[in-house]
Structure 1
Amino acid sequence: MSAHKTYTAGFKVDRPIVLIGLMGSGKSSLGRRLAVRLGLPFFDADHEIEAAAGRTISEIFEKFGEAHFRDGERRVIARLIDGEPKVIATGGGAFMNEETRALILDKAIAVWLDADIDTLVERVGRRDHRPLLKNRDPRTVLSELAAVRNPIYAEAPVRVPSRAQPHEASVDAIMEALANAQR
């Protein structure tokens, strides 16, 4: 694969594209589709962390705590960002770590998938694997997280609303936002 590609949407990809946002914003599902559209490899940072640790995210949180998880997450994201263009989906809290955020902003194209609370609650209700939601009300947790995280996510140079719409329409919106960011 060449070091960079030019796409029909009119933008060049010469470094990784990193999707950030709250849980349920579509980072993994849209990231996979975006990677296919761009002809790039896709990596889900959470899956890479689980593979490196030999444990699930929930097990890491339970056994070692969030601080240990965030340290491993930072190292995995640093490894993923170093190298060829690709699409990377991060966990919702990854961009909150100052070192991780600086690395992403310096060496990648950060794309914030910004979804409203109702959309997020509907999406996260489909599965029960999220440690931060364990035994808690999703709407309350997501509202609290949005209040703290959204101002930090806003540091991303590209923001795309993540709406309740077909995946391909969302990928189109990301492609358009990437093209506009390079103009």
Structure 2
Amino acid sequence: MKIRLFSDEKGVSPVIGIMLMIVITVILAAAVSSFASTTKAQDAAPQATFTASASVADGYIIMNHLGGDTLYLSRIKAEIGAGTPLMTTYMDSASFTLSPDPAYLRPGDVAHIAFEWYDASTWSATTELDDADGALFNSLSVLTGQPFKLTLIDTNTGQTVYSTTLTLNP
């Protein structure tokens, strides 16, 4: 004689299926939560629009802030690039003069980035300048009439705030 304790086994399979779906959902939620908590959101760099010009006679690059975010002097540096192949150098905040407020640059304000100028008559004969004056950005030389790239960089994020190509005017 065969004794059966459970005569109806139809309800066992759906209960096990639901329990498995709940366990899988909990495991997936834990995995997503763990991944999301380990990723760091990157700060967005401030963005701004400028007009810019560079003149050997003035001895600096003039940048007029037309609009966008406020830039703080302690958080910006300029990258200057010129030549083929492209050579670059960085100008830190000590090279900047901001007005009217020396600590930050808002729309309507002006920034000056100072550089040294040189006279071709006193420059080394090996540079082949042919009597052209120019500017020295740290050790990078740019001749009068030569285009160069100016990029403002936010030092907190390392991202570009503004970039343009200028021609060094006499």
Q: TM-score range by the shorter chain?
A: under 0.3
Computing the radius of gyration from Cα coordinates, the structure with the larger value is 2
Higher strand share: 2
TM-score for the superposition, normalised by structure 2: 0.22
TM-score for the superposition, normalised by structure 1: 0.21
Q: Which has the higher contact order (CA 8 A, sep 6+)?
A: 1
Higher helix share: 1
